[in-house]
């Protein structure tokens, strides 16, 4: 019988900025690293959309592309990037 893997709840925070360095700076200033958050993936340019309950999507930030960095924390994270 395979071992069961204990799942932990993940929490995520995404910062948006005009450059990758602006996103990274916001992360460090937030103090999230000390609380166990680490980067989830590369900081890339994105268009952000919100989907409502009816399935209709709308652009946020006027449809502008911004750099986004998502940082996650779970029970196994030890912090810092």
In tens, the pLDDT along 44-79 reads 999 999 999 999 999 999 999 999 999 999 755 444
Residue 19 to residue 24: CA distance in whole angstroms: 9
pTM of the shown model: 0.74
Closest among 34, 44, 39 to 65, alpha carbons compared:
44
For residue 49, the enclosing domain spans: 12-73
Number of neighbours of residue 69 by Cβ within 10 angstroms: 22
Please report whether residue 51 resides in a domain: yes
Please report whether residue 17 resides in a domain: yes
**pLDDT value for 77:** 46
Please report whether residue 47 resides in a domain: yes
30 token code pair: 């937030």
Closest among 20, 47, 67, 44 to 28, alpha carbons compared:
20
């Amino acid at each position: 019988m395979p071992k069961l893997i204990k799942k932990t709840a993940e929490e995520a925070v995404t910062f948006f900025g005009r450059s990758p360095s602006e996103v990274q700076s916001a992360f460090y200033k937030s103090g999230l690293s000390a609380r166990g958050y680490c980067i989830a993936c590369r900081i890339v340019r994105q268009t952000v959309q919100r989907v409502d309950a009816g399935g209709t999507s709308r652009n946020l930030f006027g449809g502008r592309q911004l750099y986004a960095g998502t940082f996650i924390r779970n029970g196994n994270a030890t912090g810092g990037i």
